[in-house]
Amino acid sequence: MSSLADIVACTRVDDIHTHLYDPAFGSLLLWGIDDLLVYHYLVSEASRQMEVSLESFWSASKQQQADWIWRALFIDHSPVSEACRGVVTVLNTLGIEPRSRDLPALREWFASQQPGDYIDRVLSLAGVRSVCMTNSPFDDEERPLWERGFARDPRFRAALRIDPLLLDWPRSSARLRSWGYDVGPDRSARTASEVRRFLADWTRRIESRYCMVSLPPDFAWPADTDAAWLIENAVLPHGREHGQIGRAHV
């Protein structure tokens, strides 16, 4: 058993789905105690404990949101859930004593770190060799960076997110037309071909490893919908042509 544990402990892994970003993305790179706390699992858990309404919560600053979550889950209650234990594990692994429950002190510690050095340390401690990002050409903050080009960190690999393409085709088709793709509102062979060209262009531009989409509970395929038609006539042919692995959240 000890030999197996040793092998697992020293084997570096590739994380194939994260919401992390290459450091070159600047503000899109989420790190630090506030970003650890304002994680959707913790938000969902804290919403059952906080007195503040969700409307007030989402209109507040990230620091204020983190304050509320910290109080609800780490001060007023013991952090026993898996999501809370994840935060405690991160702090312990970084050598930070979480039992003081001093959020301002935690913020000071993270503020003293350089993002690049912090990333190096975290990936090393976690035994992670590389991560796949979640990259959307429909994101107005992210897309210009890819279009300009930048020096990439090879540990951060790209994956192409296509939620708007499938789930909001009327708006997405208008955006594709504005970017020079000859798509129409109809489900024509020409439109399918141009969507495949769009997927191929972005796959090459970001060196995407696969396509991904988060699908709603009522999604059906096959079906007489734009999303199903696009999957059948554009996404699947694209995946076969580029040898990509598909990933979908339903």
Task: Give tens-digit pLDDT for 163-217.
Answer: 999 999 999 999 999 999 999 888 999 999 999 999 999 999 999 999 999 999 9
pLDDT attached to residue 250: 43
pLDDT attached to residue 245: 53
Mean of pLDDT over the chain: 92
pLDDT at 21 over 70: yes
Output the CA torsion 234→236→242→246 (10° steps): 130
Instruction: Name 171's Cβ contacts closer than 8 Å, sequence gap at least 6.
Output: 164
Whole-structure pTM value: 0.84
Average pLDDT (159-165) is: 95
Average pLDDT (217-235) is: 92
List the beta bridge partners of residue 158.
208
Parallel, antiparallel, or unpaired for β 245-249 and 13-15? unpaired
